[in-house]
Amino acid sequence: MTAATALPDEIAKFDALAARWWDPNGPMAPLHRMNPLRCRWVASRLAAAHGRAGTDLGGLSILDVGCGAGLASEGLARCGAQVTGLDAAGGALAVARAHAEAEGLSIGYREGRPEDLAAEGARFDAVVALEVIEHVADRAAFLAALAALLKPGGMLFLSTLNRTPRAFLLAKVGAEYLLRLLPRGTHDWRMFVTPAELGTEARRAGLRVCDIAGMVPVLGGREWRESRDVAVNYIAAARKD
């Protein structure tokens, strides 16, 4: 494995959580609570880009990069999309396949990296990479690979953490050490990405950021809502022109 977009230590870290990925009260609890907002945000904007109302993604092809055990993949498949999930963590993918089958969902899961899939000539209406870019070895190479996987006019959706003092206190110290919402070592604050950095690096990959929103917890963290506050968690959409 080369280190173009995949860090072996990061892969192993999330693969170790595979068995508890679908436990809504387990180590992935924050993602479970955030996932409805993420999927709704992605689906509504992608549907609108194709002249559709609501979250109708019927027939559209989506690649979920860094899919883990399939939280977002299943959410988008329920909107009618033809979803392919891609991850380098084989254990998580085994859990994803079993869970999708039990739910009666047809999702194609593949083990590998986005640059490998791009080299095969695969192209999609949309690519999503949610809470992934802050874990990759080379953001420029990662974004270039994601851009290559898009059809002309296709859309890329990314969610990540802003590199701010507040994000360090809340998403790193608070979530991992004080509240223990996430396993210690889940994040490296130095790898968090500012919206300005993301916009610049996306442009270099041939993508134009067209929408961005903050994501903030409410009701004691049991739910998440869209916000103008991007100081900690945020989600962005970019188009391949």
Residue 66 tokens, joined: 């860094």
| Model pLDDT, residue 3 | 43
- Residue 130 marked as a ligand binder: yes
Q: Based on the number of CB atoms within 10 Å of its own CB, is 9 exposed (0-12), middle (13-18) or buried (19 or more)?
A: exposed
- Considering its fold, how many domains does the chain have in total? 1
| Model pLDDT, residue 188 | 76
Range of the domain at 108: 8-240
CATH number of the structural domain spanning residue 152: 3.40.50.150
**Residue numbers in the chain where pLDDT is lower than 70:** 1-7, 10, 13, 171-187, 189
- The residue with tokens 């254990």 is 91
In tens, the pLDDT along 199-220 reads 999 999 999 999 999 999 998 8
| Model pLDDT, residue 10 | 64
In a domain, 61, yes or no: yes
In a domain, 33, yes or no: yes
CB distance 240 to 153 below 8 Å: yes
- Residue 38 marked as a ligand binder: yes
- Write down the pTM of the prediction: 0.89
In a domain, 26, yes or no: yes
| Model pLDDT, residue 8 | 75
In a domain, 117, yes or no: yes
In a domain, 68, yes or no: yes
In a domain, 3, yes or no: no
In a domain, 1, yes or no: no
The whole-angstrom separation of Cα 123 and Cα 196 is: 27
- Residue 113 marked as a ligand binder: no
Spatial CB neighbours of 22, under 8 Å, sequence gap ≥ 6: 28, 69, 95, 99
In tens, the pLDDT along 23-50 reads 999 888 888 999 999 999 999 999 999 9
